[in-house]
């Protein structure tokens, strides 16, 4: 066992422990947990990277069993699988679109598989299990709201409408879950690209991602889904809402690419760039604005106007 593997085992073990044992850090860090897996997968190679992950998984599983928390091992398994899936898809060196689509879909269906397995283990119907999970999140949020400066009337209104809120989020859960998988792939691939592009063999370049555009035909799917949401037929409205969520995320990525192009072309200082990205996290209207930029870029071509040239893609 070389020094690289020892370092990999130590860091991966610590990462997995943080995710499952620290209540506040875990949920925030879980979406980025695949990043250290990607890092050692490409730095050490597939076999040594997989071996490091397997040993770290066994170490952390043993600790969880010792602490009386064997149920958390399934969470470790899903997290580890996420990193392996993204790494394996990246090693195929597909186009950026195929990489994101394939990795996101595999993650999505893997998640469904875990839900079905857990439902079989507990004897609870998958849909009912999902409803219980969403209801639990709402009730936990109500406890948090009670500690914040939120009026009692608003809390009471949410409490009285828990069944309706649960039903709404259950209906759009497929779109949210697939969007979550896409966001996970996007964050980890971009972060891995920064860490590994010059220091590892095999990590794909993908070229200048600030020039990326969504397929032009996607706008018709967006329009169709919007019309489906307006139709007073429950099944069409539900399907339309799920498609609309996914399309909106794709156009958010395009909006971010436009912002990245603007920052680079105008040589905006890094500090202001990070302030802008933090603003996106805390201000929802910024997300809507970026989605709008992504959609209207099909007709306006913002990057051409920013650069003042005929074709920035040439």
pLDDT at position 201:
66
Cα first-last separation, the chain: 48
Query: Could you tell me the CA-to-CA distances from 99 to 106, 159, 174, 176 in Å, in that order?
Result: 11, 42, 20, 20
pLDDT for 179 equals 93
* Structure tokens given for 297: 């870029």
Residue 314: what pLDDT? 47
**Cα–Cα distance, 253 to 215 (Å, whole number):** 12
Query: Could you tell me if residue 231 is inside a domain?
Result: yes
What is the pLDDT confidence band of residue 28, given thresholds at 50, 70 and 90?
low
Average pLDDT over residues 156-173: 88
Percent of the chain with pLDDT over 70: 93
pLDDT value for 259: 94
Residue 249's pLDDT is 95
Over the chain, what is the mean pLDDT?
A: 86
pLDDT at 152: 77
Q: What gap in Å lies between CA 273 and CA 251, rounded to an integer?
A: 20
Residue 153 domain-assigned? no
Q: What's the whole-number mean pLDDT along residues 234-250? A: 94
Question: Residue 266's domain spans which residues?
Answer: 208-314
Q: What is the tens place of the pLDDT at every residue in 76-102?
A: 888 888 889 899 898 888 888 999 999
pLDDT of residue 130: 87
Does any domain span residue 173?
A: no
* Nearest-10 crossing angle of helices 218-230, 234-265: 140
Q: Is 24's pLDDT higher than 70?
A: no
Instruction: Give rounded-to-5 percent helix, strand, coil for the chain.
Output: 80, 0, 20
- Interatomic CA distance for residues 27 and 32, integer angstroms: 10
Please report whether residue 181 resides in a domain: no
Distances (CA, A) of 274 to 194, 263, 281, 289: 15, 11, 11, 17
The band of 23, judged by pLDDT with boundaries at 50, 70 and 90, is low
Average pLDDT over residues 175-180: 92
Name, in order, each residue with C-beta under 8 angstroms of 211's C-beta and a sequence gap of 6 or more.
257, 261, 303, 312, 313
Q: What is the CA radius of gyration of the chain?
A: 22
Per-residue b/e over 166-197, b at no fewer than 16 CB within 10 Å?
Answer: beebbbebbbebbbbbbebbbebbeebbebbe
Mean pLDDT of 246-272: 93
Task: Tell me, yes or no, whether 87 lies in a domain.
Answer: no
CB 254 within 8 A of CB 294: yes
pLDDT of residue 261: 94
Supply the pLDDT for residue 311: 54
pLDDT at 29 over 70: no
For 228, the token pair is: 């489906």
Q: Who wins on pLDDT, 22 or 48?
A: 48
Q: Above 70 in pLDDT, residue 9?
A: yes
Residue at 237 is within a domain: yes
Rounded to two decimals, what is the model's pTM? 0.86
244 band by pLDDT with thresholds 50, 70 and 90: very high
> Into how many domains does the chain fold?
1
- The pLDDT > 90 percentage for the chain reads 31
Report the distance separating Cα 272 and Cα 295, nearest Å: 25
Range with top average pLDDT, 39-43, 72-76, 276-280, 294-298: 294-298
Residue 19 predicted with pLDDT over 70: yes
Confidence band for 312, pLDDT divided at 50, 70 and 90: low
Tokens describing residue 259:
């912002």
Query: For residue 143, is it within any domain?
Result: no
Nearest CA among 118, 14, 105, 110 for reference residue 74: 118
Interval 195-241: pLDDT, tens: 886 666 678 888 888 999 999 999 999 999 999 998 878 899 999 99
> Could you tell me the CA-to-CA distances from 102 to 42, 118, 201, 252 in Å, in that order?
19, 24, 22, 19
Give one word for 128, left, alpha or beta, with left for phi > 0 and alpha for psi -120 to 50.
alpha
Q: Is residue 109 a part of any domain in this protein? A: no
Q: Cα separation of 240 and 172, whole Å?
A: 9
Beta carbons of 171 and 241 less than 8 angstroms apart? yes
């Amino acid at each position: 066992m070389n020094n690289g593997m020892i370092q990999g085992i130590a860091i991966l073990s610590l990462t997995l422990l943080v995710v499952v044992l620290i209540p506040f850090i875990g949920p925030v860090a879980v979406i980025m947990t695949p990043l250290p897996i990607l890092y050692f997968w490409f730095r050490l190679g597939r076999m040594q990277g997989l071996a490091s992950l397997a040993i770290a998984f066994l170490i952390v599983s043993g600790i969880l069993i010792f602490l009386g928390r064997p149920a958390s091992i399934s969470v470790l398994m899903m997290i580890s699988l996420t990193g392996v899936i993204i790494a394996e898809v990246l090693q195929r060196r597909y186009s950026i679109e195929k990489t994101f689509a394939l990795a996101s879909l595999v993650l999505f269906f893997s998640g469904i598989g875990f839900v079905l397995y857990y439902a079989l283990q507990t004897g609870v119907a998958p849909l009912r299990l999902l409803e219980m999970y969403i209801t639990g999140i709402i009730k936990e949020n109500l406890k948090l709201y009670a500690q914040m400066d939120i009026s009692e009337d608003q809390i009471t209104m949410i409490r009285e409408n828990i069944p309706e809120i649960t039903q709404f989020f259950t209906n759009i859960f497929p779109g949210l879950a697939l969007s979550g998988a896409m966001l996970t792939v996007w964050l980890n691939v971009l972060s891995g690209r920064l860490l590994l592009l010059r220091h590892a063999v095999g990590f794909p370049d993908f070229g200048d991602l600030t020039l990326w555009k969504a397929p032009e035909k996607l706008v018709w799917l967006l329009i169709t889904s919007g019309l489906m949401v307006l139709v007073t037929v429950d099944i069409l409205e539900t399907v339309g809402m799920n498609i609309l969520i996914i399309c909106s995320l794709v156009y958010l990525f395009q909006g971010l690419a436009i912002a990245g192009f603007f920052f680079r072309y105008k040589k905006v200082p890094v500090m202001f760039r990070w302030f802008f990205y933090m603003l996106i996290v805390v201000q929802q209207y910024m997300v809507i604005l970026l989605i709008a930029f992504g959609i209207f870029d099909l007709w306006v071509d913002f990057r051409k106007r920013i650069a003042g040239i005929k074709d920035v893609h040439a």
